[in-house]
């Protein structure tokens, strides 16, 4: 990732409009900022959320609240709790997430 042409700034996430993204079950609410090729999101998963697709996008992800269950295509299942993070490269390991009790995430991709 190369971050260039980006002056210092702040984000009031409460002022960033939400977009709704339905999952196989539940929904994700995204607040998104785009800075060139870098996307930053504050994402809230409803309790019972399960992704409706396998993701191949690379991410740096920090769990702010709740916990996230991530299933990898090779069969591994990883639980990431509040204060924990994960990282994965583009097209490295397909994954999909669920949040049985809901979660709030900060994601850079």
Domain annotation covers residue 62: yes
Q: What is this structure's pTM?
A: 0.91
Whether 25 maps to a domain, the answer reads no
The number of distinct structural domains making up the chain is: 1
Residue 12 included in any domain: no
In a domain, 28, yes or no: no
Q: Per-residue DSSP letters for 25-85? A: BSEEEEEEEEETTEEEEEEEEPTTEE-SS-B---EEEEEEEEEEEEEETTS-EEEEETT-E
Share of the chain above pLDDT 90, in %: 92
Q: Tens digit of pLDDT for each residue in 33-50?
A: 999 889 999 999 999 999
């Amino acid at each position: 990732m190369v971050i260039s042409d980006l002056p210092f700034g702040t984000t009031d996430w409460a002022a960033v409009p939400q977009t709704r993204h339905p999952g196989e079950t539940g929904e994700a609410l995204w607040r998104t900022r785009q800075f060139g090729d870098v996307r930053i999101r504050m994402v809230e998963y409803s309790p019972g959320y399960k992704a409706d697709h396998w993701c191949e996008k690379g991410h740096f992800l920090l769990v702010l609240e709740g916990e996230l269950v991530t299933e990898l295509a090779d069969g591994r299942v990883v639980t990431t709790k509040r204060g924990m993070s994960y990282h994965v490269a583009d097209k490295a390991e397909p994954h999909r997430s669920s949040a049985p009790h809901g979660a709030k995430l900060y994601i850079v991709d």
